[in-house]
Chains A and B, each alone.
Chain A
Amino acid sequence: QVQLVQSGAEVRKPGSSVRVSCKASGTIFTSYAFGWVRQAPGQGLEWMGGIIPILDTANYTQRFQGRVTITADESTSTAYMELSSLRSDDTAVYYCTRIFYDGSGYFYEMDYWGQGTLVTVSS
């Protein structure tokens, strides 16, 4: 069965960076895209960006441009999300997702989600 297993909770100080990993199993890693969605406490879902591993191309929503980097390691079937210049309002649960996509890089449904990683930003 498909599983996306994320790294554990992190605590960071404002201004620092955090990297969250997402290891996929039970799936052909290079046949899908992988995305990152975050959810602040008591808030809704917010798309950050995604990557197509076989093309090694990532795109990011404008709100996070310049602060987020999404990468993928085919050899370990692991996707990564690094967020820099952390602020207190970056405190959230970060989810990775498996995404269907087409030849033009258009993203369709997110059919599997990781368990979520809580990132707390506090001085």
Chain B
Amino acid sequence: SYELTQPPSVSVSPGQTARITCSGDALPKEYAYWYQQKAGQAPVLVIYKDSERPSGIPERFSGSSSGTTVTLTISGVQAEDEADYYCQSADYSDSSVIFGGGTKLTVL
């Protein structure tokens, strides 16, 4: 079955840049989306269609795509950015939706 692969964890110090990757064979053809989920809360969309940022999301959040990998970049990480981040795309194997396993971002 089709999978999106994310690193389980990423750690950065405040003010540094965090990069979270998501890999999948279909990503060159399908859009990717990123969601932030803080402890005990519902997910929040932070990037859509690979690199678009919804209104209300800080400019330090950006997305990019290269081949089979998409990347969420958080520039100037703040303590409040500590959360789980999930990528999402289309699952062409059953015309459905698929999520990556999630990456826990720790702000040291």
Contacts of B23 in A (CB 8 A): none
For chain A, the bracket of interface size reads 20 to 34
Report if A110-B96 is in contact (Cβ < 8 Å); known contacts: A45-B43, A45-B86: no
Q: Do most interface residues of chain A lie in helix, strand or loop, or is the interface mixed?
A: strand
- Count of residues in B whose CB is under 8 Å from the partner chain: 25
In chain A, positions 67-123 with a C-beta closer than 8 Å to chain B are: 95, 106-111, 113-116
Q: Is B31 an interface residue (CB 8 A)?
A: yes
Residue of B nearest to A111 (CB): B45
In the complex, per-residue mask of B2-40: 1 if CB is within 8 Å of any chain A CB, else 0? 000000000000000000000000000001010101000
Residues of B within 8 A of A (CB): 31, 33, 35, 37, 42-45, 48-49, 54, 84, 86, 88, 90-91, 94-102
Residues of A within 8 A of B (CB): 35, 37, 44-47, 49-50, 59-62, 95, 106-111, 113-116
